[in-house]
């Protein structure tokens, strides 16, 4: 959600919204860094556990416009049932780094 919309919905100052968003980003980073459980495999009934995988490019452009900047490609996955997830930074989107290329 854009910070301007958060400010409108919550009726709090821009500084508070920025601080809150930074706090939440840090909490997410700590959670993902400290909880690197293996996901996937088979469930108790011998059925495969479904993992949804996607890719994103993270970068920053001030005020959502201006000069394009290089960013970071990230692959992530989430178990449908448990919600366990992972994120991993990859150097590019080549076949060698794509999750489907992993045995």
Q: Which residue has the higher pLDDT, 101 or 22?
A: 22
Instruction: Give the pLDDT band (50/70/90) at residue 19.
Output: very high
pLDDT for res 103: 47
Instruction: Give the pLDDT band (50/70/90) at residue 94.
Output: confident
pLDDT single digits (tens) 44-70: 999 999 999 888 887 766 666 666 667
CA distances from 73 to 1, 4, 55, 63, 76 (A): 21, 26, 7, 21, 10
Q: Is 80 a residue whose pLDDT tops 80?
A: yes
pLDDT for res 61: 65
- Rounded to an integer, what distance in angstroms lies between the CA atom of residue 4 and that of residue 14? 8
The total of other beta-carbon atoms located within 10 Å of residue 59's CB is: 11
For the question of whether the overall pTM of this predicted structure is more than 0.85, the answer is no
């Amino acid at each position: 959600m854009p910070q301007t919309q958060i400010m409108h919905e919550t009726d709090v100052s821009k500084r508070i919204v920025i601080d809150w968003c930074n706090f939440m980003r840090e909490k997410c980073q700590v959670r993902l860094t400290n909880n690197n459980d293996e996901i996937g495999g088979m469930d108790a009934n011998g059925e495969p556990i479904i993992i949804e995988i996607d890719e994103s490019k993270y970068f920053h452009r001030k005020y959502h416009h201006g000069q394009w900047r290089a960013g970071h490609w990230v692959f992530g996955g989430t178990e449908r049932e448990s919600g366990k997830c992972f994120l991993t930074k990859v150097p590019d989107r080549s076949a060698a780094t794509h999750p489907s290329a992993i045995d």
